[in-house]
């Protein structure tokens, strides 16, 4: 058993080295495939983080009438907190609202002073609500329409911002859809190319496969070395793709940092790569080996059908 | 040893019979020559015996194994019992001479120790003891055929099939190969030789079975080449 396994692996290695050009061509195609996949994977993660950052900025405020019973506000706050779509509810008192206003307009004394001259604080208390998904804000509206809460709710900011929120939601969904569509299209194209490259490599061995059958090799003894070669395309493809990715991002860091002189976008992307290097290696190795072995397996099956 | 009873072979997409109702019995340790012009059915006959092809009708029994009952998974084991030599040598070009022969043992799960002792022995027997590290493209036609014979014999098979083994060789090399086959036969292996080389057939004075258009037209104990 172990002798056979050792022989299959050894033959696979020897074939890989002796079929120099074909092995090189298959490995290059595999490298390109894995490179494209990893670029899109990282691109998608960065994009999703960006979208998440935008979505985190979206919230709604429920402005409350003055001189209302505290218990009703607490009830409303609890009801919202218990809602599974709601991430966070925060009560903003009249004083805090004033403080925020002054902070916001600290460079505009006219607007800031207009609040002081009126004597009384005209700003209402409010509940700031953040949902997990901006699309869910719509479903919260009936809560504020309840008879119990009608007297305390002065205004819901969502109604004013609805158009902007909807537009942002649509935009992020569009970006996600386009991103994934392009990624899937490129991955599918790469898979077809790598499968055809491996198929061509195996086609050149079809006479050898015939001979192997004639000297009494069973199907697994014939298949084994080709599968080992498939694994090697995956392993070397991963090493080459990761090296290329590292060099590209290293160059990109300097470019992005100098292009956006205030930000550190480049460092973030590079940091992300280093932080997730382990997972990325495992993922790329897994994908590379799976593609190599599956392509070899499908391509060789044709030649082993007949005894 | 080998029984063919009313064997007919028609290839897919063809209405012509490649073999037509052939019945032959080959005894153990016999040296039999199948003679026929191109397309007579010689190669089809050898392919049926090695189970590369299946008969359309009739019965084939080799070494007690009825081919109609042979399962696909058992075919590799059958092939290890029948040595085959081809006109085009069919060597693995990416493997050295040594590896080509060792491969036939490796597929049967033979230990490395046994391989290391048996391969040099067989290389010596075919006169290639110094060519083990060469690749097939470095050898002459005669040497390639000797490697093929060494590979065919490495399992010590009861049957050796040589399908036009001298077809690509000059007369000197051709006779060297024939001498090797005679030696193998002397050691007790049944040899089936297919050829259309008149000189070889007439010199050997062995059993000759003549095929023409897929039909068996003559079976002589000590035969001669009679085709025009």
Which B residues in the span 53-82 are in contact with A, Cβ-Cβ below 8 Å? 72-73, 75-80
Comparing CA positions, the residue from B184, B211, B167 lying closest to residue B31 is B184
Q: CB of B23 within 8 A of CB of B5?
A: yes
What's the pLDDT at A259?
A: 63
> Tens digit of pLDDT for each residue in A102-156?
887 878 777 777 776 666 788 888 888 888 887 777 788 888 888 888 888 888 8
For chain A, give the mean pLDDT: 81
- The share of chain A scoring above pLDDT 90, in percent, equals 8
Q: CB of B147 within 8 A of CB of B128?
A: yes
Is B103 in Cβ contact with A212 (below 8 Å)?
yes
Chain A CB contacts of B91 below 8 Å: 211
What's the pLDDT at A286?
A: 92
Q: How far apart are the first and last CA of chain B?
A: 31
Instruction: Give CA–CA dist B53/B211, Å, rounded.
Output: 18
Comparing CA positions, the residue from B136, B101, B138 lying closest to residue B117 is B101
Respond yes or no on whether ipTM tops 0.90: no
Helix A219-259 and helix A265-275, axial crossing angle in degrees, nearest 10:
150
Comparing CA positions, the residue from B202, B165, B160 lying closest to residue B184 is B160
Give the side-chain half-sphere CA count within 13 A for A73.
20
CA dihedral (A5, A7, A8, A13) positive or negative: positive
Contacts with A190 (C-beta within 8 Å, 6 or more apart), sequence order? A29, A32, A33, A36, A37
> Tens digit of pLDDT for each residue in B23-36?
999 999 999 999 99
Using the predicted structure, report yes or no on whether residue A252 has a pLDDT greater than 80.
no
Question: Which helix (H) or strand (E) element contains residue B10?
Answer: strand B2-10
Burial (Cβ within 10 Å: 0-12, 13-18, ≥19) of residue A46: middle
Instruction: Give CA–CA dist A127/A118, Å, rounded.
Output: 24
Chain A CB contacts of B93 below 8 Å: 208
List every span in chain A annotated with CATH 3.30.70.3040. 66-151
Helix A157-203 and helix A277-304, axial crossing angle in degrees, nearest 10:
40
> Tens digit of pLDDT for each residue in A158-205?
766 667 777 777 887 887 788 788 878 877 887 788 788 888 878 888
Chain B CB contacts of A7 below 8 Å: 106
Which residue out of B77, B94, B147, B160 would a mutagenesis test of the A interface target, given it has the greatest number of A Cβ atoms within 10 Å? B94
Q: Residue A91 in 3-state DSSP?
A: strand
Q: CB of B100 within 8 A of CB of B132?
A: no
Cα angle value A198/A203/A208 (rounded, 5°): 120
Topology adopted by domain A66-151: Alpha-Beta Plaits (3.30.70)
Is B80 in Cβ contact with A215 (below 8 Å)?
yes
Which B residues in the span 140-169 are in contact with A, Cβ-Cβ below 8 Å? 151, 155
**Separation in Å, CA of B202 to nearest CA in chain A:** 31
Using the predicted structure, report yes or no on whether residue A263 has a pLDDT greater than 60.
no
Contacts with A151 (C-beta within 8 Å, 6 or more apart), sequence order? A65, A68, A72
pTM over 0.95: no
Is B90 in Cβ contact with A207 (below 8 Å)?
yes
> Tens digit of pLDDT for each residue in B77-135?
888 889 999 888 899 988 999 999 998 898 888 888 999 999 999 999 899 999 999 99
């Amino acid at each position: 058993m172990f002798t056979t396994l050792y022989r299959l692996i050894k033959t696979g290695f020897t074939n890989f080295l002796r079929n120099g050009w074909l092995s090189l061509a298959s490995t290059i195609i595999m490298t390109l495939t894995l490179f494209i996949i990893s670029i899109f994977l990282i691109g998608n993660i960065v994009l999703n983080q960006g979208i998440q950052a935008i979505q985190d900025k979206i919230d709604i405020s429920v402005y409350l009438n003055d001189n209302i019973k505290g218990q009703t506000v607490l009830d409303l706050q609890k009801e919202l907190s218990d809602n599974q779509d709601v991430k966070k509810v925060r009560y903003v008192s009249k004083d805090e609202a004033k403080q925020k206003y002054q902070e916001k307009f600290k460079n505009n004394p006219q607007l800031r002073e207009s609040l002081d001259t009126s004597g009384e604080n005209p700003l209402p208390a409010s509940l700031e609500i953040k949902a997990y998904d901006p699309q869910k804000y719509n479903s919260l509206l009936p809560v504020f329409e309840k008879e119990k809460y009608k007297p305390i709710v002065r205004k819901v900011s969502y109604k004013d911002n609805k158009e902007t929120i909807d537009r942002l939601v649509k935009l992020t969904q569009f970006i996600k859809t386009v991103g994934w569509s392009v990624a899937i299209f490129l991955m599918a194209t790469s898979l077809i190319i790598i499968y055809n490259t491996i198929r061509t490599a195996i086609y050149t061995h079809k006479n050898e496969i015939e001979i192997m059958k004639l000297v009494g090799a069973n199907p697994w003894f014939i298949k084994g070395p080709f599968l080992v070669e498939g694994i090697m395309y995956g392993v070397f493809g991963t090493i080459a793709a990761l090296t290329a990715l590292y060099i590209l991002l290293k160059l990109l860091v300097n470019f992005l940092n100098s292009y956006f002189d205030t930000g550190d976008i480049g460092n973030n992307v590079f940091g992300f790569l280093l932080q997730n290097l382990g997972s990325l290696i495992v993922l790329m190795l897994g994908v590379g080996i799976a593609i190599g072995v599956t392509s070899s397996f499908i391509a060789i099956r044709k030649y082993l059908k007949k005894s | 040893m080998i029984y063919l009873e009313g064997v007919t072979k028609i290839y897919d997409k063809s209405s012509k019979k490649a073999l037509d109702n052939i019945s032959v019995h080959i005894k153990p340790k016999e040296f039999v020559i199948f003679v026929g012009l191109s397309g007579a059915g010689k190669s089809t006959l050898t392919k049926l015996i090695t189970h590369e092809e299946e008969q359309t009708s009739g019965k084939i029994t080799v070494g007690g194994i009825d081919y109609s009952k042979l399962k696909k998974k058992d075919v590799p084991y059958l092939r290890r019992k029948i040595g085959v030599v081809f006109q085009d040598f069919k060597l693995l070009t990416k493997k050295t001479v040594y590896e080509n022969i060792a491969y036939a043992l490796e597929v049967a799960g033979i230990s490395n120790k046994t391989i290391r002792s048996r391969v040099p022995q067989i290389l010596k027997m075919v006169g290639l003891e110094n060519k083990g590290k060469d690749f097939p493209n470095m050898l002459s036609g005669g040497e390639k055929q000797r490697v093929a014979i060494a590979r065919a014999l490495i399992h010590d098979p009861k049957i050796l099939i040589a399908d036009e083994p001298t077809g690509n060789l000059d007369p000197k090399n051709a006779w060297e190969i024939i001498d090797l086959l005679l030696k193998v036969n002397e050691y007790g292996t049944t040899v089936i030789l297919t050829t259309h080389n008149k000189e070889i057939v007439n010199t050997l004075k062995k059993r000759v079975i003549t095929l023409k258009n897929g039909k068996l037209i003559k079976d002589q104990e000590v035969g001669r080449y009679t085709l025009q």
